[in-house]
Structures are given as C-alpha cells and as structure tokens.
Amino acid sequence: MDDRSMRERMLAGDPYLAVDPELAELMLRAADLMEAYNATSARDPGERRRLLAELLGAIGEGAEIRPPLRVDYGSNLHIGARSFANFGLVALDVAPITIGDDVQIGTNVQLLTPTHPIDPELRRAKWEAARPITVGDNVWLGSGAIVLAGVTIGENTVVGAGAVVTRDLPPNVVAVGNPARVIRAIEPGPA
C-alpha cells in the first residue's frame, strides 16, 4: 500500500490525483498570484518582481516574464538569471521546469510536464503523472514552440517557431518542425 500524499506522489513523478484537496489548494494559491501578476502595470516592475518571487520556485537576477503567465503551481518553475519570456508563456509545472540563464522564450511558448495514462479507465478516474523539463543556458525557444514532458534542451540550442519538442535536444544545434528535428549544428562565433 502506498501511503504517500498525492503531492508526494506528484513530486516523485508517480501517478496521482490532481483533484486532491491539498493540490487543489496549491493550484488556487498559484491562480490568485497569477491573476495579480497578470493584472500588474508595466510601470510597476517592483510589484511584478515581488509577485514572481512569491509565485515561482526561483527567479534569477534580471529575469523578466511578460504577462500573461500561466502555471499550475508556480513553485516548480525555476528561471535563471537574465532570462526573458515574452507574452503568453504557459509553464504547466506539475514536475519541475528548470530554465537556465540567458534563455530567450518567444510568445506563446508552452512547457508541458503533465502526462496522462493511455488506459481509458485510469484517465476517466483522473489519474495523471508528470516528467520534468530542463532548458539549458542561452537557449532560444521560438514563438509557439511546445516542449513536452521529460525533455532536456542543451545549452545554446535554438528551437524554431512552432516546433514541437518531443525528445531531448543536444547542445549547440538548431531544431525545427513537428516533431522537432535537428537541422544543423551551431558553430561558436567570435567572442
């Protein structure tokens, strides 16, 4: 018998029920903070920063996220220094989402950690799970890119607009398409 809480199961990447009261309360807390953040004025960067610090697991120095931002919990989203997310980031952080330093995220990018069972009875019973996403330093995710559960993107990689990343991408490449595929290597330029 498994006597872990649904939250413990979720954080371990095991099947859990999102309708659990503890998880539901954590999602409501995130929704309240998201609503406040998304309503802030661009002229009030201090309040925006304060709300992000309260909502997210970590927000690096000089990092910026333009509203609207959508998360499940917020606390499982970690964003590195000097990273930038343009309008409309969706980061479903059921499992950890780790974004490195100096990452550029285009409009309407989706980072999706949740997974759902193939078995229709388990799906009907509302079981789900999640796998983490890791985005390395200095990555550029083009507008509309979708990164699926369990994916790691290596440093300096560029993901083209609209790409659907279903598998890990190595460092220093350009990847495009659905599913995303590597089309070329990136050679380091002059310093």
The catalytic residues are: 116
Q: How far is CA 107 from CA 67, 79, 87, 148, in A?
A: 10, 16, 5, 17
| 89, two tokens | 């980031």
Q: Is 26 helix (H, G, I), strand (E, B) or coil?
A: helix
Quote the longest CA-to-CA distance of the chain. Answer: 59
d(CA 173, CA 164): 15
Task: Say if CB 114 and CB 130 are below 8 A apart.
Answer: yes
